[in-house]
Amino acid sequence: MSAVADDLKGRDFTRVADWSGDELVRVLDLADELKRAHAAGEERRLLPGRTLGMIFQKPSTRTRVSFEAGIWQLGGVGLYLSASDLQLGRGETIKDTGLVLSRYLDAIMIRTFAQADVDELARNTEIPVINGLTDQAHPCQALADVMTIRERLGRLEGVRLAYLGDGNNVCASLMVAAAKLGMHFTAAVPPGYEPDAGALDAAHTAAEDTGAAVRVVHDAREAAEGAEVFYTDVWTSMGQEEERERRLRDLAGYGVTDELLALGEEDAIVLHCLPAHYGEEISEAIAHGPQSAIWDEAENRLHSQKALLALVVR
Ligand code: CP
Ligand code: NVA
């Protein structure tokens, strides 16, 4: 494999909207190659000696382990930094934390609540800042999602995706990525659960260039009709636990069911970022059934994030 081009070195990945469709495809192409190499037992030490700091203000299984294993496989090391153990948890500012951490580290991944905090960190560091999930966005998840769709369907342009459920952080990032890559994205959400207005603007703007269609509807059947990809996520995201009862009531009828799958293409795939709440947005039978690509999707977090790191870390 030829050396990784250096024109993306130093770039932050805080939201999908900041990256062009071509740049996203470069991540996917490298991710495919890294996945192939990994399966063949070929080492790709593209970031020897580099250190990735990973700040977590919310729990994680996939994001933590895929980033930590990924940087290690690239020849570097990952540091798990629980926000409550940092001075950040005692009131040190994000700016000061960022200034200091960038003297030690080569990149920072952060999972937190407010997108504004990720932006503040990125503004105050010279090293790349990667968003590992905020209340508004989950861009690394979107990378793995589109990687999985391309891997399974062989293309992205024109792919019809139905997102069912809460128009949350995962929905917002996937919607923008889909629009940038020329996919047709329909979200079926209850009134009041529409995706973030900023993400909708970014998706509509991207769609003007790529010919993608971006729609938000309130009828799950309308979204499911002819879909090649079904996507869903939990109805109660991290930090929303107090709203759980209301969410369960409002989102009932917006889960992925056999009846809705029957309206899609026969060979449609089902995706879910995980963790799943079985019996709410999806059943265990569908998640582990023949149409599910969920486990490949989870694996692809590793490969797509390795590609992202290799492209942005100096
Ligand atoms: N999909 C995802 O981000 O999972 P974790 O919360 O386990 O990291
Ligand atoms: N929307 C979910 C995604 C978890 C990976 C949350 O924010 O909790």
Based on the fold, state whether residues 49 and 105 are members of the same structural domain.
yes
Based on the fold, state whether residues 289 and 199 are members of the same structural domain.
yes
What tens digit of pLDDT does each residue of 4-56 get? 889 999 999 999 999 999 999 999 999 999 999 999 999 999 999 999 999 99
Question: Which CATH number characterizes residue 90's domain?
Answer: 3.40.50.1370
Based on the fold, state whether residues 291 and 145 are members of the same structural domain.
yes
Residue among 6, 74, 27 at smallest CA distance from 300: 27
Q: What pLDDT is attached to residue 157? A: 98
Q: Which atom of ligand 2 is nearest to the CA of 168?
A: 1
The average pLDDT across 138-158 equals 98
Choice between 226 and 89, residue whose per-residue pLDDT is larger:
226
Q: Which residue has the tokens 């998706």?
A: 203
Beta bridge partners of 229: 161, 269
Distance between CA 244 and CA 233 in Å, rounded?
Answer: 14
Q: Is 58 in the pocket of ligand 1 (CB under 6 A)?
A: no
Is residue 94 included in any domain, yes or no? yes
Q: Look at ligand 2, atom 6, and give the residue with the nearest C-alpha.
A: 237
Q: What pLDDT is attached to residue 3? A: 75
The average pLDDT across 166-176 equals 98
What tens digit of pLDDT does each residue of 280-305 get? 999 999 999 999 999 999 999 999 99
Is residue 9 included in any domain, yes or no? no
pLDDT band at 1 (very low <50, low <70, confident <90, very high): low
Based on the fold, state whether residues 216 and 184 are members of the same structural domain.
yes
Distance of CA 25 from the midpoint of ligand 1 (Å): 22
Q: Is 283 in the pocket of ligand 1 (CB under 6 A)?
A: no
> What pairing do the DSSP bridges indicate for beta strands 77-82 and 129-131?
unpaired
Distance between CA 83 and CA 54 in Å, rounded?
Answer: 9
Q: Which residue has the tokens 């991710």?
A: 31
Is residue 4 included in any domain, yes or no? no
Based on the fold, state whether residues 148 and 286 are members of the same structural domain.
yes
Token output for 296: 């490949």
Q: Is the pTM higher than 0.95?
A: yes
Based on the fold, state whether residues 213 and 148 are members of the same structural domain.
yes
Choice between 288 and 2, residue whose per-residue pLDDT is larger:
288
Residues 6+ apart with CB under 8 A from 264: 162, 224, 225, 226, 227, 228, 230
- In angstroms, how far is CA 156 from the centroid of its own chain? 16
CA-based torsion, 43, 44, 46, 50: positive or negative: negative
Based on the fold, state whether residues 180 and 128 are members of the same structural domain.
no
Is residue 5 included in any domain, yes or no? no
**DSSP assignment letter at 154:** S
Is residue 257 included in any domain, yes or no? yes
Q: Look at ligand 1, atom 3, and give the residue with the nearest C-alpha.
A: 63
| Structural domain span for residue 250 | 141-298
The average pLDDT across 176-186 equals 98
If you average pLDDT over every residue of the chain, what do you get?
97
Based on the fold, state whether residues 125 and 197 are members of the same structural domain.
no
In contact, 240 and 279? CB cutoff 8 Å: no
Based on the fold, state whether residues 188 and 103 are members of the same structural domain.
no
Based on the fold, state whether residues 94 and 116 are members of the same structural domain.
yes
Token output for 294: 């969920």
In contact, 21 and 72? CB cutoff 8 Å: no
Based on the fold, state whether residues 123 and 152 are members of the same structural domain.
no
Based on the fold, state whether residues 121 and 151 are members of the same structural domain.
no
How many structural domains does the chain have? 2
Residue among 235, 172, 228 at smallest CA distance from 204: 172
